[in-house]
Amino acid sequence: MTITLITGANKGIGFETARQLLALGHVVYIGARDVERGEKAAATLGARFVQLDVTDDASVSRA
């Protein structure tokens, strides 16, 4: 089982990458700053969500 974390996956290329990796059997975590948008994207795809802002050390530590 491959576990993949994609930051900024609540839209655009990150969302599409998450979709394709899920189709290949990966466990995908969608990292996003915006909780609402991240949770919505994760629910749409069947992925998992983690709140993550890569520019904030505390956020990275929590994730």
Which pLDDT score, from 0 to 100, does residue 1 have?
Answer: 86
pLDDT band, very low/low/confident/very high, at 30 (cuts 50, 70, 90): very high
CA dihedral 56, 59, 60, 63 (to 10 degrees): -160
Residue 22 has pLDDT above 90, yes or no: yes
* Average pLDDT score over residue span 24-45: 96
Say how many Å lie between the first and final Cα of the chain, rounded: 20
Q: Hey, where are the domains in the chain?
A: 3-62
List the CATH code of the domain at 3-62. Answer: 3.40.50.720
Residue 17 has pLDDT above 90, yes or no: yes
pLDDT digits (tens, 9 = 90+) for 45-57: 999 999 999 999 9
Contact between residue 14 and residue 34 where contact means Cβ atoms under 8 Å apart: no
